[in-house]
Structure 1
Amino acid sequence: MREPMENLNPADTQATEPVSAFSLIFTTEHVGIITIDVPGEKVNTLKAEFAQQISAILHKAQQYPGLKGLVLISGKTDSFIAGADITMISGCQTAVQASELAQKGQTVMAQIASFSVPVVAAIHGACLGGGLELALACHARVCSLDEKTQLGLPEVQLGLLPGSGGTQRLPRLIGAPKALDMMLTGRSIRAKQALKMGLVDDAVPYSILLQTALERVAKGRKSRPPLPWQARLAGGPVGKSLLFHFVRKQIWAKTHGNYPATTKIIDVVKTGLDQGSGNGYQAEAKAFGELVMTSESAALRGLFFASTALKKEKGG
């Protein structure tokens, strides 16, 4: 049984130089541990420059002889990845720029998903937005049972949708009904519920989180396969038609068409299920770009910045 990362004996690992927010070590069992730790920040948030950094760290790992797999873990005390850097999104001047930003995120996640050996996310604390999208791109997910651990896609609360593949991967993992509920409400899921719904493959005490992830890789344990298409579509074509009809009707009753993000989420998920994930990713990036430019999203992001500033003033 291998000890958690903080207790690993340095003599049992071979280290490489850290690449900005990402550092890589290897255990004697030939498993790479990628630690995500954004310098100078309390929590990890995804930034545009990380696309190149993640590609570089994956390439470095690939060069290691006999590599059995990778574990992604946070270097922060109480969070995995809290989401994307909102200032990066607000910096986009056009829908095309915002769509390109989403496409970069999709490309990085695709690199993780297509990695030649298993990649396991070891999640403790907030795993939200782009953080959950990164975890979804991994081949398996293990989370801590700590009350601070929450998983969710809250982009709708900023008038946006998940732009790095979340609208396509989540329905294929837990089914369209549950995925739509998570994305349309933006609600977070606790560890036990995440395990029950299949969002994670294991939930363990924090003290053995890394150990569990390492053992999953070392033993070659695979994640459960994606849901069969009948389950993804809520019982086949008829079930799918009823599902989307009901969801649209429910959302219209709540928003009266004044909240474009909800409609875009429904449309993009349906596109992916009807036309395949390739078309779904294209629709996701396009819709993300369009939503970033809406007045609704601009207003909600403004509220987010104001709320964040107020918390800092109050020391919250």
Structure 2
Amino acid sequence: MTPTSAFHLQMRPDNIGVITINVPGEKINTLKAEFAAQMMATIAEARRNAQLVGLVLISGKPDSFIAGADISMIDRCRSVEEAAGLSRQGQEVMASLAALPVPLVAAIHGACLGGGLELALACDARICSLDDKTRLGLPEVQLGLLPGTGGTQRLPRLIGVSEALTLMLSGKTLRAEQARRLGLVDEAVPQAILLQSAIERVLKGKAGPATLPTRERLIQAPLARHALFAFAKRQTRQKTQGNYPAAERIIEVVRIGLEQGARSGFDAEARAFGELAMTPESAALRSLFFATTAMKKEPG
């Protein structure tokens, strides 16, 4: 029996497609490997409409956009190659979304974390609700991993390398207004007008490249960038004492992408994701995550 898709397309009279993400039988949306085919099938369905103006991605869950990837699928990997393959599969889906000829806008309410934020980064624009439940971030470092579906490459190009490193190395989450000020989202609006705001953004057409703040543009110069990476590495080693390899790999992968181009960056990201997933540090942190999650489900 074919599993029910987590993605549902509704075409509006104005030829804008609204794709609702709603993982069957789950309280929150998390990304699973099998969703790659489902999402691409939904996009293909929308593109069969010759008059398609654009697409909006929105969650069908009350309190989450996408709360990250399903950690158990990483736990099931038995080799570096298998884990790196998961990363590459995700990168391919995100690249397909980023290459769409029509605008794609993420309408974010609730948790937008890890792979969920990476999905939003592949969109032309991001609009989030001002609700207190809305949180955005890339917390993979807390699991001994790095963003593995393009996040290490897209985030620096959107908000600048300095801010991107801070966000990824800390794993901290941002509220709506913080994300807007940083340029991570284009608008932060009341939840009641979230979908309408996203539709209005689609009607503006494809977005151009992000304009970085002056400070971040200055860091693009080779000497300044070299100094920034050296400082980030030194500070990270002081904090982690070499016990958290993910932090240094994040710095390395971001540097490769900026110095050698996005293609090299994506390759380095997938390779680093696969290698980190097999480390004892990541295995221990994932076990802790599962134990903590199980405790939260216990009554009382």
Question: What TM-score results when the alignment is normalised by the length of structure 1?
Answer: 0.91
3-state SS of the aligned residue for 2:141? helix
Give the superposition deviation at 1:227. Answer: 4.1
Q: Distance in 2 between matches of 1:121 and 1:233?
A: 29
Q: 2:160 aligns with which of 175, 183, 196?
A: 175
Show structure 1 runs of 4+ deviating over 6 A. none
Residue equivalent to 1:261: 246
Q: Give the count of matched residue pairs.
A: 297
Q: Is the 8 A contact 1:19 1:57 kept in 2?
A: no
Give the superposition deviation at 1:228. Answer: 6.3
3-state SS of the aligned residue for 1:283? helix
Give the superposition deviation at 1:96. Answer: 0.2
Residue equivalent to 2:289: 304
Residue equivalent to 2:210: 226
Q: Is the 8 A contact 1:159 1:300 kept in 2?
A: yes
Q: Distance in 2 between matches of 1:232 and 1:42?
A: 41
Q: 1:61 aligns with which of 41, 46, 49?
A: 46
| Match status 1:46 vs 2:36 | no
Q: Distance in 2 between matches of 1:21 and 1:114?
A: 22
Residue equivalent to 2:9: 24
Q: Distance in 1 between matches of 2:165 and 2:193?
A: 32
- Structure 2 unaligned spans of 5+: none
3-state SS of the aligned residue for 2:188? strand
Q: Is the 8 A contact 1:248 1:263 kept in 2?
A: yes
Give the superposition deviation at 1:218. Answer: 2.4
Q: Distance in 2 between matches of 1:176 and 1:101?
A: 25
* One-letter identity of the residue aligned with 1:156: V
Give the superposition deviation at 1:193. Answer: 1.0
Q: Is the 8 A contact 2:59 2:108 kept in 1?
A: yes
Q: Distance in 2 between matches of 1:212 and 1:226?
A: 20
**Cα gap change, 1:201 to 1:228, in 2 (>3 Å):** closer
Alignment of 1:1-316 (within 5 A): 20-220=5-205, 222-223=206-207, 225-227=209-211, 231=216, 234-314=219-299
Give the superposition deviation at 1:226. Answer: 2.8
Q: Distance in 2 between matches of 1:251 and 1:299?
A: 20
Give CA deviations for 1:183-233 in whole Å, capped at 9, x if unaligned. Answer: 00000011111111110111100000000001111242x445234699367
Q: Is the 8 A contact 1:201 1:224 kept in 2?
A: no
- Structure 1 unaligned spans of 5+: 1-17
Question: What TM-score results when the alignment is normalised by the length of structure 2?
Answer: 0.96
